[in-house]
Structure formats: structure tokens, C-alpha cells
Amino acid sequence: MVTISSKLLSAETLENGKLKTSTEAINTFNCSNNMELYNRYAYQWKIIDKNFCSQKYPNLLLLIFAITAVEQREHRILIRKTWGNIRLYENFKTVVLFPLGITDDLDMMNLIQKEQQKYGDIIQQEFFDTYKNLTIKPVSYKEYPMQYYPRHCSGSFYLLTGYLARLLFEQARFCTLFWIEDVHVTGHLGLRVHAYYEEWNQKILFKWNQLEEVINTSNVLFVLIYSPNEHIQLWKWLKNYYGYDKEIENF
């Protein structure tokens, strides 16, 4: 099984092949070869479906983790109506999960419970869903100078195999958390397991309305969209292009 997160696989070559680390990284990050520095099971699950892959979607090929904030319910609904629609599992064997943290807003927590009961595609752990908890549950972050951090996957999405995901999880216990998730998971931990990085910068299309010009080539894997309206327009275009004219179910 292949897992995709909403990040971009991108491997930058560092100056003289050496890793550069910011002052913040030096002060807050540390790794050990044999001493556990982080408890991977520190946060209990509030919402978890242990049968999601094994029983509900036993033939799953691609598991997509779509990163949203707790309060972004409308964004999750938009994804469910387009490329995250559960009807696509039958033909493409893809499924979307939404990882979330918690909030001290009890009304919002109740809404999350109801959302999970309706859709069954949310997992939630007992850490606060905040910007500083990027490494625990990936959330979007602003651009940081690439030269300060080790080689890593950055941007909007990255792709990795299930086998590599297990290796990264195993190594996580030997390192303290670094709050920029992309740098920590695909950089610090990726280097420790000798992950193979592939350059995909040329496979990104920054304007979806240029897709028709290159759709028949193998050069485009990801298309960046910047608004809900573009999201819907692109989805309609793709359905029409591939002859997938079924009506999207209204959730």
C-alpha cells in the first residue's frame, strides 16, 4: 500500500553535501542511536477505526491523509465531494482519512464526533490541534529557508510506501520532536533510515487551467489549487476529460 500526505516530494541538494541546521534546530532537536527520546504512544486515540483498512477497504492501494484543522469542516466536505469521494474506491482503490487533534472548544469536539459518525473517515488523538504541533499531526506551514534544514520533502504533498512509513515510525522514538513536520519526518527521520529521495519539482503544475496542454504526458503528478472554487472547477474538468460523468453524491 502506498500512502500519500498532502505534501510535495522534493529533494534539494545541499551545499557541499552537508546538512545545515538553524539555531532553533540546534537548541530543540536531538537524536540518539539507542536511547528513546520520544514516546510514540504518548497521546491516546479519541477516534480510531481499527478496521478501516483491513475490513472496510481490504483492497486499498492508496491511502491519502488530507490535512485539515479541526474547524475546517467545510473543507473536508469539499474533499469528500470531489477527489476524496468514497465511490472512487471501487475503481481506483483510493481512500481519504482526516487526522485531527483536539480543541478545548467542547461544541467543536461534539461536532467532530457527529462528523465521524456520519462519514467514518476521521482519526483523532489527544493532542491540541495547534500550529506548534505540526510534527504530531501534519498541518500546513509557511515557507522556511530551505538552506537551514536537512534534505526533506516540502511543499503541498509527498508520497511514500507503507514499508517506508513503518521505518520512519520506528525511528521516531530515538529523536526529540522538531516542530516542522516535513523537516522532521521526511528529513531527520528519512536520513536515519536512508530513504531514497526523488526529485519531483518538474511534476507540479501551478495553474490547473494549463492541465489540458500536458495531460497526456507523464510529467505532471500534482496540481496546485488555491481556492474552493478552483477545487470544484478542476474536479469537474477531470471528470469530463476521463468520461467519469457520474453525479457526485450530496453529503
Q: What are the boundaries of each domain within the chain?
A: 41-132
* Identity of the highest mean pLDDT range in 68-77, 220-229, 240-249: 68-77
Residues 6 or more apart whose CB falls under 8 angstroms from that of 155 comprise 7, 8, 10, 204
3-state secondary structure of 173: helix
Name the pairing type of β-strands 45-47 and 122-128.
antiparallel
Question: 110: how many CB neighbours lie within 10 A of its CB?
Answer: 10
At residue 247, the pLDDT reads 52
- CA–CA distance, 176 with 93 (Å, rounded to integer): 35
Q: Please, which pLDDT band fits residue 121 given cuts at 50, 70 and 90?
A: very high
pLDDT for the residue 136 = 65
The mean pLDDT of the chain is: 76
The amino acid occupying position 194 is H
pLDDT for 219 beyond 60:
yes
pLDDT band at 237 (very low <50, low <70, confident <90, very high): confident
- Band the pLDDT of 65: cuts 50, 70, 90: confident
At 47, which helix (H) or strand (E)?
strand 45-47
Identity of the amino acid at 114: K
pLDDT at 111 over 60: yes
